[in-house]
Amino acid sequence: MKVALAELESLSPYSPSRRVRAVNKEAKETFEQYEAAIWRDRAHWTAEGRLFIPPMAFKRSLETAAAMLRIRIPGKGQSEYGKHFLAGILVPEGLVLPITRETIQSENLFLSSAGKKGKMDVLKTEPVVPQWTGEVRYYVLDDTITESIFEQVLREAGNFVGIGRFRPINGGFYGRYKVLDVQWETQG
């Protein structure tokens, strides 16, 4: 098993998109008051109260890029790396950022009330992180994935797939990141 320690840096803002469990609005509470009370819950928080980007955001970004790129495995005919990235990569920890519930920024947007186009638009407050940087640990469990292929797919994941709400794979421009460095370790 190989471990890739990837130093990543944002190319565009990151906006978390955690689903918020429906909370009953107080009888006299306006939608704006309700929104002001819950918008921070759309981000992911550690027990210590720091914002983190979930590990699955990075894993899904990587596996989506591998499937999208359709790179063939040398000597394996028509076989592609996509399925190997899907099953053979583990990202066990999220990226913890030095942002708290008190310091996170927000933006107000007119978005669909039901999350679908064509529905009534309402003014929502969304969390946003203008810039971030940090190290993400990827466990490469599948020996089919070489270091060079991993790094190529990781770079493309940051450019064309992204992470979070309104990311490039969904037609947006948030969540892009670049790879500053990748260090490799071999374990067991």
Kindly list the domain boundaries of the chain, sorted by start residue.
2-28+41-104+131-186
Per-residue 3-state assignment (H helix, E strand, C coil) for 83-142: HHHHHHEECCCCEEEEEECCCCEEEEEEEECCCCCCCCEEEEEEEEECCCEEEEEEEECC
CA geometry: angle 9, 111, 133, nearest 5 deg:
10
Residue 45: its pLDDT value, please?
A: 97
Residue 147: its pLDDT value, please?
A: 97
pLDDT (tens digit per residue) in 145-174: 999 999 999 999 999 999 999 999 999 999
Residue 24: its pLDDT value, please?
A: 67
Residue 181: its pLDDT value, please?
A: 98
Cα(149)–Cα(183) distance, integer angstroms:
14
Residue 120: its pLDDT value, please?
A: 66
Cα(14)–Cα(98) distance, integer angstroms:
14
Residue 113: its pLDDT value, please?
A: 65
For the chain, which ranges sit under pLDDT 70?
21-25, 113-120, 188
pTM value is: 0.90
**Phi, psi (5° rounding) for residue 67?**
-65, -40
| Residues contacting 115, CB < 8 A, separation 6+ | none
Cα(47)–Cα(136) distance, integer angstroms:
19
The dotted CATH code for 2-28+41-104+131-186 is: 3.30.70
DSSP 42: G
| Residues contacting 133, CB < 8 A, separation 6+ | 7, 8, 9, 10, 180
Asked whether 41 and 16 are in contact (CB, 8 A), the reply is no
